[in-house]
Amino acid sequence: MIKDITIGQYVPGESFVHKLDPRTKILISLLFIIQLFLIKSFSGYIFVVAFVLATVSVAKLSPTYLYKGLKPVFILIVITAILNLFMVEGTNIIFQWKFIKIYKEGLSTAGFMVLRLIFLILGTSLLTLTTSPIELTDGIERLLNPFKKIGLPAHELAMMMTIALRFIPTLMDETDKIMKAQMARGADFDSGNIINKAKGLIPLLVPLFISSFRRADELAMAMESRCYRGGEGRTRMKQLKMQSIDFVASIIYSSLATLSIAIYYV
């Protein structure tokens, strides 16, 4: 299940989505997240589904691959649905058994939260799957450049965010290797109650933290050996430049986003 995490991974390609300017994809992703919380009707998610399916199709990504990315957070999605289903109260009771009551408002809220979580993960995964770490760094830095006037270290912040995303799959692979090694030595991560399971994670977390610090030190040494001194005076072989396909993609997304939100008021 650990290997199924797709956030932070990059799938090379020559599709329309891959060729988009990283700034366009980052802004669309941010607006996509905002859009998910502005939609007030289930029919509005039809346009979200259409947008995600069209992006997956154009980018030539495997739907099965994206589905695997949802598996690690399946428990979180289920817990979120259950909490909203039983904790949200309203006026219309649709089920009652002793002290257990399920309201129509709770069912609606649970459905919205599940859809938001699913598309939130899918949208974030689509950004990293179609954008290389270097492009992502340059895109974030260019978007943060206006904030340099107030002292924000745009390059350093963009670098840290990209490195964090890039090392998610690496750390997941490392976790899987350590877990298998500990299981071969007799460690048990599945049996017992919650407390015993938490204690069982200690042989996993300690070497994982040590490995993470070692990788961070190796990365710092590699950057220093290549004379990395931050973004001051740094040049780029490829300069970011908006093209016509970026405006086309923005118009298509804006239209779908507007329809998904406006359908509630029609």
The pLDDT of residue 26: 92
Burial class (CB in 10 A: 0-12, 13-18, 19+), 235: exposed
Alpha-carbon Rg for the chain in angstroms = 22
83 and 102 in contact (C-beta within 8 Å)?
A: no
Q: What one-character-per-residue DSSP string does 155-213 give?
A: HHHHHHHHHHHHHHHHHHHHHHHHHHHHHHTT--SSSS-HHHHHHHTHHHHHHHHHHHH
Provide φ and ψ at 113, rounded to 5°. -65, -40
Per-residue pLDDT tens digits for 156-191: 888 887 787 778 777 878 888 888 887 787 777 667
> Rounded to whole angstroms, how far apart are CA atoms 2 and 169?
9
Domains of the chain: total: 1
Per-residue pLDDT tens digits for 89-111: 877 888 778 777 888 888 888 88
Q: How many residues does the chain have?
A: 266
Q: Which structural domain, as residue segments, surrounds residue 138?
A: 2-262
Question: Which amino acid would we find at residue 151?
Answer: G
> Rounded to whole angstroms, how far apart are CA atoms 198 and 185?
18
Per-residue pLDDT tens digits for 28-76: 999 999 999 899 888 899 999 999 999 999 999 888 878 877 777 888 8
The pLDDT of residue 6: 64
Q: pTM, whole model, 2 decimals?
A: 0.77
